[in-house]
Copies of this chain bind each other. A is one copy, B any other.
């Protein structure tokens, strides 16, 4: 293996794939980066055992020039080394030692055998199950993933359900206290029902170029996402995702429309009162609607607070009180892009909905369970 490459080209890719490497990994080879050099492309692969990312660099004869093909696993120090290198970097593999020259500097890195790096699963990537614009893909995740459970008790709830039908995609995520759901029409997708771990979705958003399309392929208990020159593999969560359709109410006693930002600011103001012991959850907020929307809280240690938000319209019952977690309400409000949100109430101990005042290209809703305060 011998090639020369422009520093910035390689550095960007190394930086990207290395995000998946954990220095705590107990498998030494997974602390390195697999480098494969062919006539027509360089491939860099990193894996944390449940997720794998691979990025290709086409050999164009300008930024990359290949003299001899080959493959090896580089130690993770390569990331910093290339970042600090001069304009051009030359790689030359001899045995398991890679000689790296840049300017007057010469490094000899101890490397590992490429054959020992876990093989990527073979997935047919001609027909994706789903194709979305990058921004669309990140929007779908943003509006659901926040509701994933962080508890180990029901692992399936740590993921986001992707239900893909012929002409529509349906995402649901719930930790059983709150739920985010989105439905969007799309073309040429093929039927699928999978649960993607929320951590994998976080990693994907960190590494993908959202100006490019995202294609999704699923096979057995694996998913492959393709984005430009990057492909990303993750295991899927196994088990039955609960049927959440019955949870979404249709009948409401009252619908209150309010300015999203103003409501959010009020809640964040009130949330500051929460004790440090509350871990930023912001405690319980009581909301009273009667001519105006009043939110209040009482924290034994710190004191109490109250704020008012004028609502822009109300339909139905105009005198009710409901209590909820400040954090849940703030998280849900943050997922909405609209200027105004509608709060849909069906009783003080029944789950309530938060929806944008105008549904755009997709249909979204956030559901929150109230808190019993007496």
Complexed CA–CA distance, A97 and B309 (Å):
25
Within 8 Å by CB of A306, from B106, B110, B303, lies B106
Contacting pair A105 B266 (CB below 8 A): yes
* Residue A371 interfacial (CB < 8 Å): no
* Residue A305 interfacial (CB < 8 Å): yes
Contacting pair B104 A308 (CB below 8 A): yes
Query: Quick one: which of A75-116 are within 8 Å of B by CB?
Result: 75, 77, 80-81, 83-85, 97, 103-110
Contacting pair B302 A75 (CB below 8 A): yes
* Residue A39 interfacial (CB < 8 Å): no
- List, in ascending order, chain B residues with CB within 8 A of A302's CB: 75, 77, 109-110
Q: Please, which residue of chain B has its CB at the minimum distance from the CB of A267? A: B84
Contacting pair A107 B303 (CB below 8 A): yes
Contacting pair B80 A272 (CB below 8 A): yes
Q: A334 CB to closest chain B CB, in angstroms? A: 15
- List, in ascending order, chain B residues with CB within 8 A of A268's CB: 84
Complexed CA–CA distance, A109 and B266 (Å):
17
* Residue A265 interfacial (CB < 8 Å): yes
Q: Please, which residue of chain B has its CB at the minimum distance from the CB of A269? A: B84
Q: For chain A, what secondary structure do more than half of its interface residues adopt (helix, strand, loop), or is it mixed? A: mixed
- List, in ascending order, chain B residues with CB within 8 A of A106's CB: 305-307
Complexed CA–CA distance, A270 and B302 (Å):
53
Contacting pair B23 A276 (CB below 8 A): yes
* Residue A374 interfacial (CB < 8 Å): no
With contact pairs A84-B268, A84-B272 given, residues A109 and B303 touching in the complex (Cβ less than 8 Å) = yes
Query: Quick one: which of A258-316 are within 8 Å of B by CB?
Result: 265-266, 268-270, 272-274, 276, 301-309
Query: Quick one: which of A24-79 are within 8 Å of B by CB?
Result: 75, 77
Q: A35 CB to closest chain B CB, in angstroms? A: 15
With contact pairs A23-B276, A85-B269, A272-B77 given, residues A108 and B304 touching in the complex (Cβ less than 8 Å) = yes
Contacting pair B80 A110 (CB below 8 A): no
On A, residues with C-beta under 8 Å from B are: 23, 75, 77, 80-81, 83-85, 97, 103-110, 265-266, 268-270, 272-274, 276, 301-309
A-B pairs with lowest CB-CB distance, top 3: A80-B272, A105-B307, A104-B308
